[in-house]
Amino acid sequence: MATDVVVPTLGESITEATLGQWLKKPGEAVKADEPIASLETDKVSVEVPAPTAGVIAELVVGEGDTVNVGAVIARIDAGATASTAATPAVEDRNAIGQAEAAAPAEPAAAPVEEAGDPVTLSPSVRRAVLEHGVDPSKIKGTGKDGRLTKDDVIAAAKTQPKPAAAAAAPAAAPVAVAAPAGERREERVRMTRLRQTVASRLKEAQNTAAILTTFNDVDMTAVIEARNKYKDLFEKKHGVRLGFMGFFVKAACMALRDVPAVNASIEGDEIVYRDYVDVSVAVSAPNGLVVPVIRDAQDLSVAGIEKTIGDFGARAKAGTLKLEEMKGGTFTISNGGVFGSLMSTPIINPPQAGVLGLHRIEERPVVRDGQIVARPMMYLALSYDHRLIDGREAVTFLVAIKNAIEDPTRLLIDL
């Protein structure tokens, strides 16, 4: 009996998604709750589990198609055994590879699948395999669940010996034309739904808000000394590493209390002020940066903040962040310093009115007590909506951050 696989509920106000990748193919056996496809929403990638054990009977939609919540995307032959998967798998391979089959045979290209050892490839990876003539079954994948990526294929192609095709060509065939040196290639890849949403929201911010950026710098000496002194005890007691974000989030909460306009937002012809701080923090995920929210950050200790950020980071890499964890947020902190950024002008995330940009720490000459000395310095950038926040308030906010970081005792005595 065939069982329909439908698009699950994706969260409040989300009605559609993009079919990012099929993880199973017709004829393959699946277990109940085993992921068979990944969906890309406006915020995260969501895996679709098999509702029952059996064999994939049909894939109703293709990769890259837009699907609505509740739509049927596949059918499973419930109760079927793995032995019944052989014939459908061959049919599916022929269907997927019609374009390759119609093209002239390329002896150097390894098959995408070998008998008894199927390899599931995305379209871009499949093209790379055919283009570079590598055997995907001999490449170790670095993607999620060990799946191959395009970079894996290109790296493998660079390490394998180049075929002596020119030497093997018959001497009587001088008309053969070799590929031109320095051949330039282009590849068109459809934007993910996440990237489309990011592009739309950033452009909306520029079109709507009067964005201005104010800079300051901060001497990181005191925070670095405190971190080096207590990091081992901190990790032993709290089970998480002591980083710099805990200090900056705590300092931001204090500064936002003193300058509430930076934590406010414009709704129509009204300004909404808040007595709580929900800090959005950017963390790395397989498909790019995601921005989960630390709720009521003003009530958390540095340890509580670090634990929350560590949990977000681990679940972002595993793809298990929930949609509701990335909604809302009253203020954003973006740490481009981890990627080596010296200075930037971050764009606010509407309806928020401010975003604090952190950058890399490097030793620079500064004057202390009339002497030129080297100090670990960081540039801070506050981008803000000038419709709501005046320059005086922006500078006051940054100075409050600077004072708290350069003298962390202020964080303890709430000064």
Catalytic residues: 386, 390
C-alpha to C-alpha distance for 225 and 338, rounded to whole angstroms: 19
Query: Tokens for 128?
Result: 């790379």
C-alpha to C-alpha distance for 63 and 24, rounded to whole angstroms: 12
Task: Collect all residues with Cβ–Cβ distance below 8 Å to 238 and sequence separation of at least 6.
Answer: 303, 306, 307
C-alpha to C-alpha distance for 317 and 288, rounded to whole angstroms: 10
C-alpha to C-alpha distance for 194 and 282, rounded to whole angstroms: 14
φ and ψ at residue 276, rounded to 5 degrees: -130, 160
C-alpha to C-alpha distance for 267 and 203, rounded to whole angstroms: 19
Query: Tokens for 410?
Result: 């202020």
C-alpha to C-alpha distance for 350 and 353, rounded to whole angstroms: 7
Kind and range of the H or E element at 130?
A: helix 123-132
Query: Tokens for 375?
Result: 């100090």
